[in-house]
Amino acid sequence: MLKWYEHEETAGDIVISSRIRLARNFNDYLFADKISEEDAAKMINSVAKRFETDYPEEFRCLYMKECSESGRNALKEKRVITSYLAGKNNGAVILSEDEGTSVLLNGEDHVRIQVLCNGMDIQSCFKKANEIDDYIDAHFDYAFDEKYGYKTTFPTNTGTGMKAGYTLHLPSLSDARRLNDISAELGRFGLKFRTVYGDGQNGYGNLYQISTQKTLGQDEREVIKDLDDIVLQIVNQEKEQREHFYKKDKIQMDDEIYKSYGVLKYARKLSLKDSMVLISELMTGVSLGVLQFAHNGRYNINELIMDIQPAVLRQNSGKAMSVAETDVLRAEYIRKYLPEII
């Protein structure tokens, strides 16, 4: 089965992926930061056993205590688990075959349901997350208050317990230095804006996450609708800015795009940062129609980005590697899978 990020037909050129996350806790146990080792194991095993019984083909359970450090890091790089869960031994994740649906157990909360989809498809994420949520709710006793909603470890998650978000590719708005204003404006609407790779001014790859924060007193569908409306505005701004830059200096942009392709296709050593910067140029070139790949080639930006992450490369190679060796393997992988252009 293809992974969620390998579906080429649903990949987007600006909206890269969609995400829904639901935070839940059980009445029968103390919160995850206070639960005993014994109760944590009991809680994890009871949920895992239920999934293994009812969905033996669709899901598998990975226990953190049985995962190597590199294995945990690979799951984190694929956005399957959080950094917090990766650092715990008494945690687990129930993972779908396509890795798009994950149920984190005993992380920040007893349960965090997460669904990821390619492109701008948050409705599919929401539908799947609700199905998993209803299934767990039918077999376990959620901590829920009629006035305040779902009880969560962090007060900001109280209410629906839902966070919705998108990952966007915004190179032109970044080059136009408009992102600080956009971030401030998003903050006014209760939305969080951050870089995917690197921090703040040191971010690279022009990938950004926009996500909801507050959940108390809000309807999930209204939250998603408002988020969609705002994201579509940003998408249109990015398109307009790209077209403006391209009309202004077509030769310069074409040159940068083709040079980036050349380096990616023939380099013998590439750091993650350099790769992401070059891939960003490539994504822009494809969206503008500057680059066209051979039909027998396979181009999926989500897949490429996922597979060149350090821990993922090491895990797929089956051996421990230094940073320098990983950079060599990354370049080799990109040379092998980046299609020829026509």
**Is residue 285 annotated as involved in ligand binding?**
no
**Is residue 119 annotated as involved in ligand binding?**
no
**Is residue 47 annotated as involved in ligand binding?**
no
Q: Are strands 162-169 and 92-96 parallel, antiparallel or unpaired?
A: unpaired
**Is residue 136 annotated as involved in ligand binding?**
no
What is the C-alpha to C-alpha distance for residues 176 and 184, in angstroms, rounded to an integer? 16
**Is residue 17 annotated as involved in ligand binding?**
yes
Burial of 216 (0-12, 13-18, 19+ CB in 10 A): middle
**Is residue 158 annotated as involved in ligand binding?**
no
20, 294 in Cβ contact below 8 A?
Answer: no
3-state DSSP of 45-79: HHHHHHHHHHCCCCEEEEEHHHCCHHHHHHHHHCC
Q: In this structure, what are the phi and psi dihedrals at residue 118, rounded to the nearest 5 degrees?
A: -70, 145
**Is residue 287 annotated as involved in ligand binding?**
no
- CA angle 67-71-72, nearest 5°? 80
**Is residue 164 annotated as involved in ligand binding?**
yes
**Is residue 20 annotated as involved in ligand binding?**
yes
Selection from 248, 1, 44 nearest residue 136 by Cα: 44
Look-up: residue for tokens 């013998």? 268
Amino acid making up residue 191? L
**Is residue 267 annotated as involved in ligand binding?**
no
**Is residue 326 annotated as involved in ligand binding?**
no
What is the C-alpha to C-alpha distance for residues 84 and 106, in angstroms, rounded to an integer? 10
What is the C-alpha to C-alpha distance for residues 109 and 241, in angstroms, rounded to an integer? 41
**Is residue 196 annotated as involved in ligand binding?**
yes
**33-39 contacts at long range (C-beta below 8 A, 24 or more positions apart):** 33/153, 35/106, 35/110, 37/90
**Is residue 72 annotated as involved in ligand binding?**
no
Name the token pair of 189: 């609407």
CB atoms within 10 A of CB 71: 16
Q: Which CA distances in Å does 41 have to 47, 48, 92, 139, 296?
A: 10, 10, 10, 18, 49
Residues contributing to the annotated binding site for ATP: 17-21, 112, 163-167, 194-199
Residues contributing to the annotated binding site: 17-21, 112, 163-167, 194-199
